[in-house]
Amino acid sequence: MIDPASLVRDASFLVTGGAGFIGCHTIDALLRDGARRILALDNLSTGRWDNVTQDDRVERVTADLARMTPDEMQNAFRGVDYLLHLAAEKHNNAIDAPERVLAVNVDATFRLFRAAADARVRKVIFTSSLYANGRMTLPPMREDDLPEPKTVYGISKLAGEHLLRHFAAQRWTALRLFFAYGPKQFAGSGYKSVIVTNFERILRSEAPVIFGDGKQALDYVHVRDVTRAILSSLSEIADGQVVNIGTGTAVSVNQLTDCMLEVARSSLRPAHGPADWTAGTHRVCDNSKARQLLGWSPSIAMRDGLAEVYAWMKKGS
């Protein structure tokens, strides 16, 4: 089994999207495991610096990747050992602003990877997405499936994977993340997951809403399990690999909502709305590669993870 702390200790990191949901948890993990220096870069469109732990080893830079000059990118890599590229324009933005999604997830990502190659960083970790696969139904998604992304976001993430291969002289790993959840998932702007949306309703004593029959199923993975995968991927064992990061278990919206009500000790009953585009979907991964290659497996049970989210949201309400 890979020991992430041995890979992180005394190393320097550039973390894009550092003020975001996964970014702030990743920085916590880097600090815990003894990183020497962390340059956190974020445009604050959905992230908040308040989410990032105060520590002398963390330097915060507010910048937009799409607007950074070559010199600014080059300067950002000074003294950096590893690039963790977590920043992205999200799936929901692809409908209203596809040009922005391509500008950040493809063009700016290309320039970032080129700057990393020029700086000769030790390795690049890139958070890709299940949307790069494109399939919305069973069987569980595998890394060797033919990718057929159906969205601009998915196309942009697949392009990011190919851009890593373009700079094949440097070490890299791409992680196709499934549905990450956990505390700090929503900072007040951007996309709200069904978990955040329905916990908000429960906290207001309003019935959680299920769209359609609620049988649509997703693979939810806790953010601390995601950060553990990110750090484990620093190992040379994962070089040149695309790896799914998910639990391998699909949870229906009906099951999710029942568990949320149980965690909140609520007597509310779900309300049903009209079916949406997720009707009939079943998005789950085959995570055997992560288990075999990284020695990684999910460690946080759904109920425990939801209890953390509810406690965090209750504290902030």
Give residue-wise pLDDT tens across range 298-315: 999 999 999 999 999 999
Across residues 207-236, what is the average pLDDT? 98
Do 87 and 19 touch, CB atoms closer than 8 A? Answer: no
Is residue 140 in some structural domain?
yes
When pLDDT is cut at 50, 70 and 90, the band that residue 316 belongs to is confident
Q: Is residue 99 part of a domain?
A: yes
Higher per-residue pLDDT: 14 or 46: 14
For 20, other C-beta atoms within 10 Å of its C-beta total: 29
**pLDDT at residue 233, as a whole number:** 97
Q: Enter the tokens of residue 223.
A: 């953010």
pLDDT at residue 91 tops 80: no
Between 93 and 170, where is the model more confident?
170
Provide the pLDDT for residue 192: 74
Q: What is the pLDDT of residue 4?
A: 86
Report yes or no on 174 lying in a domain: yes
As a whole number, the mean pLDDT across the chain is 94
SS3 label, residue 228: helix
**Per-residue confidence band for 106, with pLDDT thresholds at 50, 70 and 90:** very high
Burial zone of 278 (CB within 10 Å; 0-12 exposed, 13-18 middle, 19+ buried):
middle
Q: Which of 20, 3, 15 has the alpha carbon at shortest distance from 223? A: 20
Please say if the pLDDT value at position 1 is more than 80: no
> With contact defined as beta carbons under 8 Å apart, do 19 and 47 qualify?
yes
The answer to whether position 29 is within a domain reads: yes
pLDDT > 70? residue 30: yes
Share above pLDDT 90 across residues of the chain, in percent, rounded to a whole number: 90
- The pair of three-digit structure tokens given for residue 218, joined into one six-digit string: 């997703």
Q: What CATH code is carried by the domain that includes residue 21? A: 3.40.50.720
Provide mean pLDDT across the span 127-145. 97
The yes-or-no verdict on residue 168 having pLDDT over 90 is no
- Rounded CA separation 75/235 (Å): 26
Say if 311 falls within a structural domain: no
Domain of residue 30 covers 4-180+221-245+286-294
Helix (H) or strand (E) holding 310: helix 302-316
- Report the pLDDT value the prediction gives residue 49, as an integer from 0 to 100: 96
Residue 157 confidence (pLDDT) above 60: yes
Residue 55 has pLDDT above 90, yes or no: yes
Which of 78-87, 189-198, 250-259 shows the lowest mean pLDDT across its residues? Answer: 189-198
Average pLDDT over residues 144-155: 95
Give the residue, 169 or 197, on which the prediction is more confident. 197
Percent of the chain with pLDDT over 70: 96
| Total domains, the chain | 1
How many Å apart are CA 24 and CA 309, to the nearest integer?
Answer: 15
**67-71, 94-98, 260-264, 272-276: the lowest-pLDDT one:** 94-98
How large is the average pLDDT for residues 15-42? 98
Give the model's pLDDT for residue 33.
98
Range 219-224 average pLDDT? 98
The confidence band for 317, taking pLDDT boundaries of 50, 70 and 90, is low
Q: What is the CA radius of gyration of the chain?
A: 19
- Taking the C-alpha atoms of 131, 132, 134 and 135 in order, what is their torsion angle to the nearest 10 degrees? -90
Q: Does 253 have pLDDT greater than 80?
A: yes
Residue 86 pLDDT class (50, 70, 90 cuts): very high
